[in-house]
């Protein structure tokens, strides 16, 4: 027969008894919080102390540089250093000097305001400004530009317009000095304001002046040929009639013909040379002059003009 076992008579299983973790108690938690807080304060205090030393050195160096640059006339750089040593992080003894220096320098530092217009008098802003070779602004916004006192070269550049360059003297203490610039379009881009298209510029001179001078040269050569042939015929007649003892009344007319032939030859050669130049170079002479003047033993011919 099966035996019946009473649950009351069964031996209970052994359960391990673990001790209460000390951190779960209220006193333990408070101790941990206090310990972590103290550790955090210690960790934060160390770098802060190092930064304070760095700030002191930086502030002192900025104050020293500001004085040196101010004496050199570099007011813009001196102002940046004075802003650095006037910070609240700097020691009070340094700020006590830097703050009044900064206020004084702000009053001495000049500023300029650039105003640009086009040929119609309208404001333009797409202007690149260069001061002493350094870019000061890529466009105009109406704000004052701080600048050191002294002589400066301003260059203004705008697309489609000729570059403008100006040298000015900036005086200490000047505030918002206006610099006015007017841009005219480049010659290739200019057009009449009434909308009409301007006639194109002449590309070359006319051939007419060259043709006229060449015609004069041809006439002069014709005159040379005529008088030379006439004088030669007279000379041949004298040789057959009275040479070598011919009367001066018969010789003098021949000498005149020879003189005229020589002058005509010279004038013709010069005229044809000028005509060739006028034709091939095509200038536009305002006036062409050809002159013949007597001289001892002959005559002088010349061609002149204004180009």
Position 203 scores a pLDDT of 52
Position 94 scores a pLDDT of 93
The pLDDT mean for the chain works out to 77
Q: Does the pLDDT at position 230 exceed 90?
A: no
Q: Does the pLDDT at position 172 exceed 50?
A: yes
Q: Are the beta carbons of 264 and 223 closer than 8 angstroms?
A: yes
And the tokens for 269?
A: 């050669």
DSSP codes joined into one string, 233-300: HHHHHHHHHTTTS--HHHHHHHHHHHHHHHHHHHHHHHHHHHHHHHHHH----SEEEEEEEEETTEEE
Percentages (nearest 5) of helix, strand, coil residues in the chain: 50, 20, 30
Mean pLDDT throughout 128-148?
A: 94
Instruction: Give the residue, 292 or 13, on which the prediction is more confident.
Output: 292
Residue 129, beta-bridge partner list: 137, 156
Q: Does the pLDDT at position 306 exceed 60?
A: no
Tell me which H or E stretch contains 98. Answer: helix 92-108
Position 163 scores a pLDDT of 93
Q: If DSSP codes are grouped into helix, strand and coil, which group holds residue 85?
A: helix
Position 202 scores a pLDDT of 53
Q: Does the pLDDT at position 26 exceed 80?
A: no
Q: Does the pLDDT at position 296 exceed 50?
A: yes
Position 17 scores a pLDDT of 47
Which segment of 22-31, 51-60, 91-100, 184-193 scores lowest on mean pLDDT?
22-31
Mean pLDDT throughout 195-214?
A: 65
Backbone angles phi, psi at 155, to 5 degrees: -125, 130
Position 211 scores a pLDDT of 80
pLDDT > 70: percent of the chain = 67
Position 183 scores a pLDDT of 93
Q: What's the rounded Cα separation, in Å, for the pair 232 and 147? A: 89
Residue 293 binned pLDDT confidence (cut-offs 50, 70, 90): low
Mean pLDDT throughout 80-104?
A: 94
Residue 6 binned pLDDT confidence (cut-offs 50, 70, 90): very low
Mean pLDDT throughout 259-280?
A: 82
Residue 153, beta-bridge partner list: 167
Backbone angles phi, psi at 135, to 5 degrees: -70, 120
Q: What's the rounded Cα separation, in Å, for the pair 93 and 210? A: 90
Q: pTM to 2 decimals?
A: 0.44
pLDDT > 90: percent of the chain = 40
Mean pLDDT throughout 134-138?
A: 93
| Tally of CB atoms within 10 A around 155 | 16
């Amino acid at each position: 027969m099966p035996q019946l076992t009473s649950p009351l008579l069964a031996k209970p299983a052994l359960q391990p008894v673990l001790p209460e973790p000390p951190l779960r108690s209220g006193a333990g938690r408070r101790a941990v919080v206090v310990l972590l807080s103290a550790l955090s304060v210690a960790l934060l205090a160390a770098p802060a102390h190092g930064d304070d030393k760095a700030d002191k050195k930086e502030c002192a160096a900025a104050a020293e540089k500001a004085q040196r640059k101010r004496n050199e006339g570099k007011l813009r750089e001196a102002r940046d250093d004075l802003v650095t040593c006037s910070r609240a992080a700097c020691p009070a003894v340094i700020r006590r000097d830097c703050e009044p220096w900064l206020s004084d320098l702000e009053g001495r530092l000049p500023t300029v305001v650039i105003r640009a217009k086009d040929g119609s008098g309208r404001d333009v802003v797409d202007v690149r400004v260069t001061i002493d070779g350094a870019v000061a602004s890529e466009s105009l916004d109406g704000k004052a530009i701080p600048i050191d006192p002294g002589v400066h070269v301003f260059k203004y550049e705008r697309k489609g317009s000729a570059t403008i360059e100006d040298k000015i003297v900036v005086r200490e203490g000047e505030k918002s000095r206006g610099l006015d610039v007017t841009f005219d379009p480049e010659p290739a881009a200019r057009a009449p304001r009434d909308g009409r298209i301007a006639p194109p510029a002449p590309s070359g001179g006319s051939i007419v002046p060259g043709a006229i001078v060449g015609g004069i040269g041809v006439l002069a050569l014709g005159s040379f040929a005529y008088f030379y042939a006439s004088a030669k015929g007279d000379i041949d007649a004298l040789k057959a009639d009275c040479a070598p003892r011919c009367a001066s009344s018969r010789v003098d007319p021949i000498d005149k013909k020879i003189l005229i032939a020589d002058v005509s030859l010279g004038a013709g050669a010069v005229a044809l040379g000028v005509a060739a130049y006028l034709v091939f170079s095509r200038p536009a002479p305002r006036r062409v002059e050809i002159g013949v003047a007597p001289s001892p033993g002959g005559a002088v011919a010349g061609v002149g003009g204004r180009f």
